[in-house]
Structure 1
């Protein structure tokens, strides 16, 4: 398989997805002018088609949306890095929010 074939298959899958057409091995093989067996046998080509098919299917289901949210959830929970003055800011904030009768 050449790099050109891989790029062509990727482009065709993206075009099918953009136009809302189903991404099938038959459709991709016809447009790429390669045999369907080539798509199935070559691991890289098959992975490209499978990935696009999964995206297309998952985008329309609640399970697909839940999977996508779960994929991004760990990044959304990360705290921003502390600023250089974090220690000073925390002490000042604690002093402001603490009642007068509580010791620091």
Structure 2
């Protein structure tokens, strides 16, 4: 951990930023591996003929829509399976990949 805000172990702000970016990349990669292995997934989203096992926390943190869906008092907030309408499965898959990888 850095001794002061903005300073990394090397004492420069740039080393702190690169360390922070590396940490974020590693964390996101691990969360995506958990999704791929269906580990700790707590909701299944049905989109067209496909179903996607995901983490409510990750989606809620990534999107105001999902935050409202899962925590905003909507009927879907307590369900284990939620149907998502108005989007194609392949498009939704691309969206999930971006949420979980940033790419």
Return the structure number with greater strand share.
2
Return the structure number with greater helix share.
1
Q: Which structure has the greater CA radius of gyration?
A: 1
Normalising by structure 1, report the TM-score.
Answer: 0.28
